[in-house]
Structure formats: C-alpha cells, structure tokens
C-alpha cells in the first residue's frame, strides 16, 4: 500500500512527518542558540541593574553554598517571612547572609505579628544576632490578622523601628493595583495608603522606598510611576521583576499574586510556539525600563528588585551574563 495524499491537506503523510520533525529540530536548535552564549551588560541596562536586590527564603537560601559566588558586593538580600516559618529560622538566615557581607532586609508581615511585644522581640533578635537595621514592612499574605496589626502602617505607628534606630524601611508598592486592598477594583485605598506613607517618610529619619510586586510589562510600570509623581508621592521605587523561570511557573505565581495587565505578556508568549519551550527572561521589560530611565532621569524607579522564581542561581547567572560590572559576584571583584 502506498502513501496517498491526506484528503484534508493534500499532503502526503511522510511529508507531514518530515515537516513536524523539521519544526521540532528548529525549536530545539533555537533553544540552544538562545541559551548558549553568555551576554555582557551594555548601554543602558548595566547602570540600571547597579545595586539590584534579590529575595530569598530560609529554605531557598539553604540551597546556596556561598552567596559571594553569585551576588555582587553589597547586594541587599530580602528574606521573605512566610506564615509558619519560625522566627529562629529567619534570624539564622539573616545572620548567615550578613556574615557573608550582604545587607539583609527581613520581611515584617503585620498580620502574623501578634502584638507590639512580639514585634519588639523580633527586632531585638535580628539586631542582636545579625546586626539588621533595615526592614520591609507589609501586610502579609494572611487574610485574618493573628493579633493587633493589620497593615504596615500599624507597624510604623508603634515607633518600634525608630526607637531601634533602623536606617531603612521599605513598604509595598503595587503597579497594577491590589485586589486585597481595593476589592472592587481601582486604587483609591492603595493611593490613600501611599499618601500616608509619603507623609511618614517626611517625619522619620529612616530612608524609605517602595518595593513592588513583580510585573512583566514596562508600560503599566511607567504609567504608575508617573501617576505617583503627579500625586506628590516621591518615594523611590525598587521595581519588582521576576527572574528567569519556566513559563508555567511564572503564570502560576502571577495568578496567585494577583498580577494584572502585564499577565497578558505571559499569555501571549504561551501562544507563541517558538517561545513556549524557552524559559522566560526579564531582558525585554528591563531594557525598556532602562531606556525610559536614561531618557527621563527623574523617573522614580531607582533600583531593580528580583524575585528569583526560577531559582537564586539562575537569577544571579542572568545578572552576571547581562549586567556587566553591575553583575560581577563579590568573590570575583577586587
């Protein structure tokens, strides 16, 4: 029996099989070409990545033998505090990373801190054992507060961080809104909170900044930052960016974290068969933000903050490949 043409396409089965094989080989070759060469920071991206920060958790930090082999000297390392993580594990992680020469910024999630006494105890533990003098204050991902605190403003109003002499306090920012804060949409409550935090920054000695949720599209970030400036909110922005990761991993985290309009960037990528097999990299969004910063020096975005959703080593290697002098690990710098 000979192969006849397919009645639907008019093509012979053997031709179809060869076409599919060629397409698959092209995809595999494309992936190799895309991931093989190391890249160096050039033009606007290198200065934009200078002083970037990165987020870890105790369990992910344990997988890194030596952060000095991955991160530039002086990198700020946020330590995320997930509900159920013992404070002793958080402090031990902070002590270890600080001991390797990095600035440590632990999360203080308001809704899992029972009262002012617990807050002051945490501050004392971090300071006494790890020399911590900076913190990210946020509501936290818990729906019902465990005690007296509901949001970052409640923590700031205690005065505990001022009394402890903290030099830097960061608070959360949401370029694409936050349904937990504004459940009906819009940003009325979020903007009211930002105005309060702006006023607080003007009466505290601590340096303050907005550390934001990650996004995948430069457009909404730029629009949001310009809106803040127009509203008189001038807190520096440390823009959250998802590090390299599998596409399905990013989509999962984006949905869970309530990422808004820029999720379409991932959805569009998922529909492109030439990119479906490739890991997502933040090159495009960062290049656009860097170009905007170069053209508009007053742009409130001051630094990049990485969420290493595909792994700390993977994220650090991307920064090394793309950041030029801004990505050189401490172990390799003079």
The predicted-structure confidence for 179-204, as pLDDT tens digits, reads as follows 566 556 667 888 899 999 999 999 99
Answering whether pTM is above 0.85, one says: no
Predicted pLDDT of residue 17: 35
Predicted pLDDT of residue 259: 59
Predicted pLDDT of residue 283: 94
Regions in the chain scoring below 70 on pLDDT: 1-42, 177-186, 251-278, 334
Predicted pLDDT of residue 20: 34
β-bridge partners, 285: none
Domain edges within the chain: 43-332
The predicted-structure confidence for 221-230, as pLDDT tens digits, reads as follows 999 999 999 9
Predicted pLDDT of residue 190: 85
Contacts of 240 (CB under 8 A, 6+ apart): 211, 212, 213, 214, 215, 305, 307
Predicted pLDDT of residue 154: 97
Handedness of CA 131, 137, 138, 139 (dihedral sign): positive
Task: Report DSSP state, residue 28.
Answer: H
Q: Which CATH number fits domain 43-332: 3.20.20.220, 1.10.1840.10, 1.10.1060.10, 3.40.50.10860?
A: 3.20.20.220
């Amino acid at each position: 029996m000979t192969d006849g043409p397919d009645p639907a396409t008019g093509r012979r089965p053997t031709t179809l099989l060869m076409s599919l094989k060629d397409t698959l080989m092209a995809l595999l070759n494309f992936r190799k070409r895309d991931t093989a060469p190391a890249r160096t920071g050039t033009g606007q991206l290198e200065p934009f990545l200078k002083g970037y920060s990165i987020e870890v958790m105790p369990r992910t930090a344990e997988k890194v033998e030596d952060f000095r082999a991955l991160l530039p000297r002086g990198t700020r390392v946020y330590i995320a505090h997930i509900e159920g993580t013992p404070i002793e594990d958080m402090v031990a992680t902070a002590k270890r990373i600080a001991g390797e020469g990095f600035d440590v910024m632990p999360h203080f999630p308001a809704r899992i801190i029972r009262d002012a006494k617990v807050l002051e105890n945490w501050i004392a533990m971090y300071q006494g054992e790890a020399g911590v003098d900076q913190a990210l204050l946020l509501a936290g991902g818990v729906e019902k507060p465990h005690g007296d605190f509901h949001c970052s403003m409640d923590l700031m109003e205690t005065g505990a961080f001022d009394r402890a002499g903290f030099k830097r306090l960061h608070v959360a920012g949401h370029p694409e809104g936050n349904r937990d804060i504004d459940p009906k949409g819009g940003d009325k409550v979020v903007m009211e909170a930002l105005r309060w935090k702006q006023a607080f920054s003007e009466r505290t000695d601590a340096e303050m900044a907005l550390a934001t949720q990650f996004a995948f599209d430069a457009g909404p970030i730029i629009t949001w930052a310009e809106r803040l400036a127009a509203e008189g909110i001038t807190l520096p922005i440390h823009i959250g960016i998802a590090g390299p990761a599998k596409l399905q991993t990013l989509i999962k985290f984006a949905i869970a974290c309530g990422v808004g309009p820029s999720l379409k960037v991932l959805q569009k990528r998922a529909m492109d068969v030439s990119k479906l097999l490739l890991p997502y990299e933040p090159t495009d969004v960062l290049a656009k933000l860097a170009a905007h910063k170069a053209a508009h020096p007053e742009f409130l975005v001051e630094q990049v903050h990485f969420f290493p959703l595909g792994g700390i080593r993977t994220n650090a290697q991307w920064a090394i490949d793309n950041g030029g002098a801004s990505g050189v690990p401490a172990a390799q710098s003079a």
